[in-house]
Amino acid sequence: MPRPSLFQEAVISDIALILRAAEFAAHRHRKQRRKGRSKRPYIGHCIEVARLVAEVGGVVDANVLAAALLHDTVEDTKTSRDEIRQEFGAAVDELVQEVTDDKSLDKEERKELQVTHAPHLSPGAKVIKLADKISNVQEIGTDVPKGWDVERREKYFVWAKRVVDAIGPINPELEQRFASTLEESSRLLAKKAAKG
C-alpha cells in the first residue's frame, strides 16, 4: 500500500483526534443521563453539539470539533484540565476551558458569568457555546426535564438568548438555527402553558 501524502496524513490525524475525543467523552459521561423525561445518554448531547458545529456551522477545525465533544467533561465529570491537555493538546484544552463553568460558584453567578464572558470567547469557543445552547433549548422544548415547570423553562430560554446575544455575530448558520430552535421551543411552551 502506498504511503499517504502529507495532506492525507493531516486528515487522518484530524479524524483520529475527533474519534479519540468522542471515545473519551463517551467513557467519561457513561453513567450520566440528560435531565429530560427520556433520560437519553448524556453523550448524545456532546455528539449533537459537535455535529451542529460541523454540519450547521460548517466548522472543519479538528480542535474545535474535539473540544465540542469534550465541552462538558471538566465541568460535569472527574476529568481534570491536565488530562484534556495531555490527551488532546493545548488548543483543545483551551477551548474546553473557555466553555467550562466554575462549579465552585453558585448557579446564578455561573449563569451571569456566561453572559459577561461570552463576548470575550475565542471564535471556536463561541461556536461551541452557541451549539450547546441550541441543543439545550431544543431538548428543554421537546423533552422537558422532570420538575421544570413553564416558568423555569421560560427563564432558561431568556437566559440562553442573553448568552447568544452576548456572543455576537460569529456564525450566521448557527445563529439562525438558534433563532428557529428558540422560536419552536417557545411555541411548544406557549401551547403547553395554554393547556394549563
Q: CA 57, CA 16: separation in Å to the nearest integer?
A: 21
CATH number, domain containing residue 113: 1.10.3210.10
Average confidence score pLDDT of the chain: 96
User: What pTM did the predictor assign?
Assistant: 0.95
**Domain span at 85:** 14-194
Query: Is residue 126 one of the residues assigned to a domain?
Result: yes
| Residue 139 in domain | yes
Catalytic residue numbers, as ranges = 75-76
Give tens-digit pLDDT for 144-190: 898 999 999 999 999 999 999 999 999 999 999 999 999 999 998 88
The verdict on residue 8 lying in a domain is no
pLDDT in tens, 56-99: 999 999 999 999 999 999 999 999 999 999 999 999 999 999 99
